[in-house]
Amino acid sequence: MNMAEWLSASAHLRPDAPALLTGTRVDADYRTFAARAAAVGACLASRHGVAPGDRVALFMTNRTAYFECLYGIWWIGAAAVPINAKLHGREAGWICKNAGAKLLFISDDTAEHWAEADVPLPTWSVDGDDYLRAREGEGAAAPLPRETDDLAWLFYTSGTTGRPKGVMLSHGNLLAMSMCYFADVDQPASRDAVLYAAPISHGAGLYNFPNVRVGARHVVPDSGGFDADEVLTLGKQLRDVSMFAAPTMVRRLVDAAKMRGENGDGIKTIVYGGGPMYLADIRDAMATMGQRFVQIYGQGESPMTITALGREWHGRADDQRYLERLASVGTAQSVMSVRITGADGKPLPAGETGEIEAKGTAVMLGYWNNPEASAAALKDGWLRTGDVGRLDADGFLTLSDRSKDVIISGGTNIYPREVEEALLTHPEIREVSAIGVPDPEWGEIVVACMVLEDGAEADDRKFDAHCLASIARFKRPKRYVYLPSLPKNNYGKVLKTALREMMAGK
């Protein structure tokens, strides 16, 4: 099936229901939403030559037009390549080239960044008059039929190699994820308002599908992003609000609620994930805002779908193992199986710590044009997550650590090698190792441990400016530490564990 069929169905069943909102202003009902998607798709095909299976990229900030473009792409059987709007233009350009994108949607606030990409790719601005005219045109009455394994969403995530990898998510993967949402996360209704305060290009955007299916409202804040006071105000104005939030967003929302003397009135569900949520923080959140929380654990390779700790378990304070459950990431979602394996790849019994592996219909098809990485990540259908944890006898998964060196700051993955490679192009830097250091606000921050060339002077501003010339602002180190040498093993490999121990308490 084509996931755009869900929009088509809602447009027939609830044509006058409000669909796309900016703040409290209705931009489109479901009839209009579907008509615009069909018209955008028709223009992609007729004017730009986009065919079924082609890739179309989106490099824009949150706005309701984002959904018109996504569904326009799917309407004609093409695949969407959503790109983080915070990325440097060169990074976005590399993704477009690797994906073989036929066209790129941009917005006025990303056009300047894209200009730095130096990639000869047609662009279409959603803020231009041409787009506004095109979306009012005619399109096919129904989405083009697709097969379960046809590519729908190409999500780029990096790895320890430092180069992004394109995670291939099919229509079947997205369907499985959406059914898990209904069964394991929340029960959306047509009266609900799903708030996109986190990037639509990532997990928050994936949760549009179940809400489109029931004809709920899709709300982009006036700010276009996350502002705790704005979220609390919209909750009271819109009612029945649900949203996805990284743990750092939850902490800021709780702090704002305390300052305002409020409890999150009007907010129905906050699904949190994408980084470590400390036990003290979720207990504080529930004490302040009540039981509005659901936790999910997943990866781009199994989007939002490995485990879930539902609303019920957050509220079962009378359970003798309540705190242990609350500190976990829950149990396997409905279409998934989870196991723990040892160094030999064999399953471990309950209680033992090892690598987390997941299997099910939500797991990706593989990595785009990267058979070696696909083979390494997928073994007999099992996704090797690279995360470390343990399962108890009842199937609750507790994360212990990450075997990869990914830094999760504010719910966003930052990959050390990207930072290291950017810094090492500076002539005054001899060696560098980027690590994540715990931070009460961000979860983790990037710290660059550096050895300078003889005679070079330590200058944070200089190295910051150098980073910003090639990588996104959010990836740059928040601290620079200057060392005479980096700790290494007998093979010359930098010991990041030793660096983290060194930074502890500093």
What does the pLDDT read at residue 271?
98
pLDDT at residue 159, rounded to an integer: 46
What is the reported pTM? 0.86
Q: What is the pLDDT of residue 50?
A: 98
Domain ranges of the chain: 407-503
**Alpha-carbon dihedral sign for residues 37, 38, 42, 43:** negative
**Residue numbers of the chain with a pLDDT score lower than 50:** 159-161, 490-491
20-34 pLDDT per residue, tens = 999 999 999 999 999
Residue with tokens 């305002």: 260
Q: What is the pLDDT of residues 365-387, one digit of tens each?
A: 999 999 999 999 999 999 999 88
pLDDT at 401: 61
Report how far apart, in Å, the C-alpha atoms of 303 and of each of 168, 306, 473 are.
11, 8, 25
Of the chain, the end-to-end C-alpha distance in Å amounts to: 54
| Residue showing tokens 């179309």 | 56
Pairing mode, strands 123-125 and 151-157: unpaired
Residue by residue, DSSP assigns 223-281 as TSS--HHHHHHHHHHH-SEEEEE-HHHHHHHHHHHHHHT---TTEEEEEE-SS---HHH
Residue 256's CB: how many other CB atoms inside 10 A?
18
Closest CA to 228 of 201, 186, 207, 259: 259
Length of the chain: 506
Return d(Cα 405, Cα 250) in angstroms, integer.
24
CATH class of 407-503: alpha beta
For residue 151, what is the enclosing H or E element?
Answer: strand 151-157
Token pair belonging to 334: 């409905």
The 10 Å Cβ neighbour count of residue 345 is 13
Place of tokens 């602002």: 473
Provide the 10 A C-beta neighbour count for residue 346.
9
Closest alpha carbon to 475 in 398, 402, 415, 401:
415
Task: Enumerate residues 6+ apart whose C-beta is below 8 A from 318.
Answer: none
Asked whether 73 and 79 are in contact (CB, 8 A), the reply is yes
Encoded amino acid at 349, one letter: P
